[in-house]
Amino acid sequence: MKFVRTVMSENFFRRFRDIFAPHLSAVGADTRVLERADIEIPGEQYVALWEAVGTVNPTIGLDLGMQTQASDFGALGHALHCAPSVEKALLGLHRFITVFAQEAIINFECDAKTAYIEYQIVAPTILYRRQDSEFTIASIYHQLNLLTGITIKPLRIDFEHDKPANTSGHKQVFQCPIYFNQPTNRIYLSLDTLQLPVAHANERLYEALEPYLERQRQERAVSDDILPQVTSMIASSMSSGTLSLIEISDQMGLSRRTLQRRLKDLGIEFSSLIEDVRRELALAYMQGSDYSVTEISLLVGYSESSSFTRAFRRWTGQSPQQYRGAHHTPH
């Protein structure tokens, strides 16, 4: 089971083709992303491509995020830049992000004192995603600066990944407290920021683009969100003993029969889904971590490494050591 959620190539990969071209084949990405704006990149490939480039330049996500233009995000980018206010732009980003990227969610919330924009990938088997997170947070921040024509001062930045060895680039970009190992990726802003005028606001053009974006959103909306929910529950319980169908259905507030039927409507058997999640996690750990084979076998629910090795050969045709030798990208 591979998540089929996709990211649109738009103008971004054409602008930075020299950076991404050397890494496309390694992640199996379509070379047409360098030429066309309408190519859909599977979410896992998209994130893997960022991580591959990150092995050459650890701050590539931040660097390119601060170089983004409205056209890099297609119609969504153009709509945001003609929104009548920052708040309207952020509400549009929350609602229409799926037009650009189905593999992630962006939430926009406010409390009594602050507003925050939250970004997170929905696929639980994508374990290593620092570059994508840093690119997205830096892009949002940079676009806010372009929208308003001023340098906005965030109150705080959160990242879900581990703290890098060198954070000087982060401090230089954001000029605010930065926290790592957080539950999600967030930009915190003062409420005053939401009322800032947009430099090139064009409400009539925004209203003209909005119906188009809504049609695109409906076309690209993921029809049933039950699969990522179930997958996330399986993945989070894998190392301590996989949850049963009954346990998952109870947690979701569904009957066992209802959950079984909804999975069947998607062409998925629960037992096959467990195997798929176990395989995807194992491959991700083997590619991106320095865990030993014994440690990975335990993380994906095998009490004996010999059983894990047999399963791994069945999945890939290679031993874990052979696979790691060919695919390992340290983080």
Q: What is the CATH number of the domain that holds 69?
A: 3.90.1520
182 shares its domain with 262: no
Q: Are residues 178 and 284 in the same domain?
A: no
Read off the pLDDT of each residue in 235-247 and give the average, rounded to a whole number.
Answer: 85
What does the pLDDT read at residue 331? 64
- Shared domain for 215 and 321, answered yes or no, is no
Q: How many whole angstroms separate alpha carbon 130 and alpha carbon 163? A: 10
198 lies in the same domain as 251:
no
- Cα separation, 282 vs 276, whole angstroms: 10
Q: In this structure, is residue 238 part of a structural domain?
A: yes
Cα 61 to Cα 89, 94, 102, 182, 235: the distances in Å are 22, 21, 19, 18, 26
Considering 220, 246, 266, which residue would you say is the last residue of a domain?
A: 220
Residues 322 and 205 in one domain: no
How sure is the predictor about 223, in pLDDT bands with cuts at 50, 70 and 90? low
Domain contains 260: yes
Query: What is the predicted pLDDT for the residue at 222?
Result: 67
Q: Which residues pair with 11 in a beta bridge?
A: none
Asked if residue 143 and residue 233 are part of one domain, the reply reads no
Instruction: Return the pLDDT at 141.
Output: 98
Which of residues 4 and 282 earns the better pLDDT score?
A: 282
Residue 255 phi, psi (nearest 5): -75, 155
Q: What pLDDT does 150 receive?
A: 95
- Mark 100-131 as b/e (b = at least 16 C-beta within 10 Å): bbbbbbbebeeeeeebbbbbbbbbbbbbbbbb
Same domain, 123 and 175: yes
The secondary structure of the chain in percent helix, strand, coil, rounded to multiples of 5, reads: 60, 10, 30
Model pLDDT, residue 201: 94
Neighbour count for residue 187 (Cβ, 10 Å): 25
Same domain, 185 and 236: no
Token digits of residue 272: 């096959």
Domain contains 306: yes
Mean pLDDT confidence for 214-220: 91
- Which of 144, 8, 103, 15 is closest to 157 using CA atoms? 144
DSSP strand pairing (114-121 vs 185-190): antiparallel
- Full-model pTM: 0.84
* pLDDT at site 251: 87
Name the one residue in this structure whose structure tokens are 């049963």. 244
One domain for residues 116 and 230: no
The CATH number given to whatever domain includes residue 279 is 1.10.10.60
**CA end-to-end span of the chain:** 24
- pLDDT value at 31 more than 80: yes
Model confidence at 227, pLDDT cuts 50, 70, 90, reads confident
Between 134 and 274, the more confident residue is 134
Q: Looking at residue 242, what is its pLDDT?
A: 75
Q: How confident is the model at residue 72 (pLDDT cuts 50, 70, 90)?
A: very high
- Across the range 16-41, mean pLDDT stands at 94
Please report whether residue 1 resides in a domain.
no
Answer whether residue 238 shows pLDDT above 90: no
Do 159 and 24 share a structural domain? yes
Residue 187: predicted pLDDT: 98
Judge if 216 and 230 occupy the same domain.
no
Average pLDDT of the residues in 263-289? 88
- Asked if residues 125 and 284 have their Cβ atoms less than 8 Å apart, the reply is yes
Mean pLDDT, range 260-280, rounded to an integer: 88
How high is the pLDDT of residue 1? 46
147 and 37 in one domain? yes
What radius of gyration do the chain's Cα atoms show? 21
Q: Which of 185-199, 249-263, 305-319 has the lowest mean pLDDT?
A: 249-263
pLDDT band with cut points at 50, 70 and 90 for residue 119: very high
Q: Strands across the sheet with 185-190, in order? A: 104-110, 114-121, 185-190, 156-158, 178-179
Pick from 119, 286, 82, 330: which is nearest to 204 by CA? 82
Gap between the Cα atoms of 292 and 321, Å rounded: 10
If one counts the domains in the chain, the total is 2
* pLDDT for res 2: 47
Please give the mean pLDDT across all residues of the chain: 92
Angle at 176 between CA 173 and CA 177, to 5 degrees: 120
Domain region containing 91: 6-220
Residue 330 has pLDDT above 70, yes or no: no
Average pLDDT on 166-182 reads 97
Which range is least confidently modeled, 45-54, 126-135, 225-234, 245-254?
225-234
Mean pLDDT, range 276-288, rounded to an integer: 89
More confident residue, 139 or 331: 139
> Which distant-in-sequence residues (6+ apart) come within 8 Å of 296 by Cβ?
282, 285, 286, 289, 308, 320
Higher pLDDT, 2 or 170: 170
Checking 119-123 for CB contacts under 8 A at 24+ apart, the result is: 119/184, 119/185, 119/186, 120/160, 120/184, 120/185, 121/43, 121/47, 122/5, 122/228, 123/3, 123/5, 123/43, 123/44, 123/228, 123/231
